[in-house]
Amino acid sequence: MLTGMQIAVIGGDARQLEIIRKLTELDARISLIGFEQLDHAFTGAVKEKINEVDFSNIDAIILPVAGTNLEGQIETIFSNEKVVLTEDILLKTPEHCTIYSGISNAYLNGIVKAAKRKLVQLFSRDDVAIYNSIPTVEGTIMMAIQHTDFTIHGSNVTILGLGRCGMSIARAFHGLGAKVKVGARRSEHLARITEMGVTPFHLSNIEKEVTDTDILINTIPKLVVSAAVIAKLPAHTLVIDIASKPGGTDFRYAEKRGIKALLAPSLPGIVAPKTAGQILADVLSQLLQEDLVNRKGK
């Protein structure tokens, strides 16, 4: 239980609703910031503007998956209010206050460090990333079906990266009957790709390997699908880039060449926000309860 814990949930999308629901069930007191247009009411949760919150009583701050932008602004789809997280706000919180975010950036890292608070990036956790790979795979399959006029079965699918999402995507497309090849750099990843029964290749050979690709799926958040790579793709190739913004594809050159290239970060929040929210809610509730126990034990 989270009885006595005061938590600020700031902005976000439909995934945050599952987090709020779970935390109120655990008896936490919630300040909802950036939710004025939300019709649903949660027992134990109060809608407030950011300048109305007494941050001196806040034990934890939960940000959306994307955290903040580089100016500190937080996405708020349930509000038209501009919400900005600042160092001054963090300095008002108790020293034990922890900030939870999906990912981070230079701005968020900077204000958290300056305020000497703890930041937890949920998407850096293996459990969250592996659970999230499930709706990510379903969303990738959905996009592949929507944007092609051929079946996945029998098509040539090239996947870049064998991280937690790359592995799940490779298994799923292989299971659907696609001819799958996966590009990676690390020798252990190349060995795992072979063990999975799909074709491995080293990313240094990417330009040679993509020439027969029907669907190219990138999971690497660096520019790997460069203009030189796109120049080697067949004209009908569909590129699906699920890496975090700005992705790893030269979208300008893809458009110039007439290659359909789609940037699709945060697929779990788009195709299955309820499931994606429950994944985050379960992990967050566990971390918050551990934090509460540790503070009481001191």
Question: Considering the domain boundaries, does residue 1 fall inside one?
Answer: no
| 117 and 49 inside one domain | yes
Question: Considering the domain boundaries, does residue 291 fall inside one?
Answer: yes
Question: Considering the domain boundaries, does residue 113 fall inside one?
Answer: yes
| 147 and 240 inside one domain | yes
| 183 and 54 inside one domain | no
Question: Considering the domain boundaries, does residue 165 fall inside one?
Answer: yes
DSSP secondary-structure letter at 154?
A: T
Domain that holds residue 41: 6-124+272-297
Q: Which of 53, 78, 81 is nearest to 64 (CA)?
A: 78
State how far the Cα of 76 lies from the Cα of 78, in Å rounded to an integer.
Answer: 5
User: pLDDT tens digits for 130-163?
Assistant: 998 999 999 999 999 999 999 999 999 999 999 9
Looking at residue 256, its pLDDT comes to: 97
pLDDT of residue 296 exceeding 90: no
SS3 sequence, 180-234? Answer: EEEEECCHHHHHHHHHCCCEEEEHHHHHHHCCCCCEEEECCCCCCECHHHHCCCC
Looking at residue 39, its pLDDT comes to: 86
| 247 and 138 inside one domain | yes
| 113 and 90 inside one domain | yes
Phi, psi of 135 (to 5 degrees): -65, -25
| 161 and 46 inside one domain | no
Percent with pLDDT over 90 in the chain: 85
What b/e readout covers 234-246, taking b as 16+ CB neighbours within 10 angstroms? Answer: eeebbbbbbbbee
What b/e readout covers 157-185, taking b as 16+ CB neighbours within 10 angstroms? Answer: bbbbbbbbbbbbbbbbbbebebbbbbbbe
User: pLDDT tens digits for 246-288?
Assistant: 899 999 999 999 999 999 988 888 889 899 999 999 999 999 9
Phi, psi of 67 (to 5 degrees): 70, -120
| 204 and 91 inside one domain | no
State how far the Cα of 271 lies from the Cα of 21, in Å rounded to an integer.
Answer: 20
Scan for tokens 């239980």, then name that residue.
Answer: 1
User: pLDDT tens digits for 196-254?
Assistant: 999 999 999 999 999 999 999 999 999 999 999 999 999 999 999 999 888 999 999 99
DSSP secondary-structure letter at 26?
A: T
Residue 210 sits in a domain whose CATH number is 3.40.50.720
What letter represents residue 125's amino acid? R
State how far the Cα of 182 lies from the Cα of 189, in Å rounded to an integer.
Answer: 9
Q: How many beta carbons lie within 10 A of that of residue 230, not counting itself? A: 24
Question: Considering the domain boundaries, does residue 290 fall inside one?
Answer: yes
- How many domains would you assign to the chain? 2
Q: Which of 211, 136, 144, 205 is nearest to 178 (CA)?
A: 144
pLDDT of residue 108 exceeding 70: yes
| 36 and 145 inside one domain | no
Looking at residue 217, its pLDDT comes to: 98
Looking at residue 244, its pLDDT comes to: 83
| 140 and 182 inside one domain | yes
User: pLDDT tens digits for 44-85?
Assistant: 899 999 999 999 999 999 999 989 999 999 999 999 989 999
Question: Considering the domain boundaries, does residue 282 fall inside one?
Answer: yes
| 205 and 293 inside one domain | no
Looking at residue 298, its pLDDT comes to: 62
pLDDT of residue 40 exceeding 90: no
| 152 and 211 inside one domain | yes
- 119 Cβ contact list (under 8 Å, min separation 6): 98, 99, 100, 101, 104, 108, 109, 112
| 102 and 140 inside one domain | no
Question: Considering the domain boundaries, does residue 195 fall inside one?
Answer: yes
Number of residues that make up the chain: 298
- 90 Cβ contact list (under 8 Å, min separation 6): 55, 61, 97, 99, 111, 112, 114, 115, 117
Question: Considering the domain boundaries, does residue 167 fall inside one?
Answer: yes
State how far the Cα of 41 lies from the Cα of 57, in Å rounded to an integer.
Answer: 22
Looking at residue 297, its pLDDT comes to: 67
